[in-house]
Amino acid sequence: MTDRRQPSDPASAHARKGAAKPPRPPRDPVLASRHAAVRLLQAVLDDGRALDEPFETETRLLEPRDRAFVRLLVTTTLRRLGQIDGVLKAFLQRPIARRHGAVKHVLRLAAAQILVLETPAHAAVDTSVELTKFLNAPGLTGLVNAVTRRLARDGAAVLADQDVRLNTPRWLWQTWLEAYGDAGARRIAEAHLHEPPLDITVKADAAGWAERLEAEVLPTGSLRRRGPGMVASLPGYGDGAWWVQDAAAALPARLLGDVVGKTVVDLCAAPGGKTAQLAAAGAHVIAVDRSGARLARLHDNMARLGLAERVTVVEADATVWRPDTPVDAVLLDAPCTATGTIRRHPEALRLKKAADAEALTALQDALLAASAEMVKPDGTVVYCVCSLQPEEGAPRLAAAVGLTVDPVRPEEIGGLADCVTAEGYLRTLPFHLAEVGGMDGFFAARLRRT
- Position 226 scores a pLDDT of 84
Percent share of the chain, pLDDT over 90: 90
- Position 227 scores a pLDDT of 74
CA–CA distance, 415 with 417 (Å, rounded to integer): 6
- Position 16 scores a pLDDT of 37
Kindly report, residue by residue over 244-282, the tens digit of the pLDDT.
999 999 999 999 999 999 999 999 999 999 999 999 999
Identify the active-site residue in 268, 336, 384, 386. 386
- Position 114 scores a pLDDT of 98
Kindly report, residue by residue over 125-172, the tens digit of the pLDDT.
999 999 999 999 989 999 999 999 999 999 999 999 999 999 999 999
C-alpha closest to that of 391 among 341, 446, 334, 440: 334
Residue 422's Cα: distance from chain center in Å?
27
- Position 250 scores a pLDDT of 98
Is the CB of residue 326 less than 8 Å from the CB of residue 374?
yes
CA–CA distance, 177 with 184 (Å, rounded to integer): 7
Kindly report, residue by residue over 305-321, the tens digit of the pLDDT.
999 999 999 999 999 99
Residue 405 C-beta-side C-alpha neighbours within 13 Å: 16
Q: Are strands 2-3 and 311-315 parallel, antiparallel or unpaired?
A: parallel
- Position 23 scores a pLDDT of 63
Concerning whether 336 is annotated as a catalytic residue, the answer is no
Is the CB of residue 403 less than 8 Å from the CB of residue 352?
no
C-alpha closest to that of 60 among 99, 21, 114: 21
Residues of the chain falling short of pLDDT 70? 1-23
CA–CA distance, 56 with 357 (Å, rounded to integer): 29
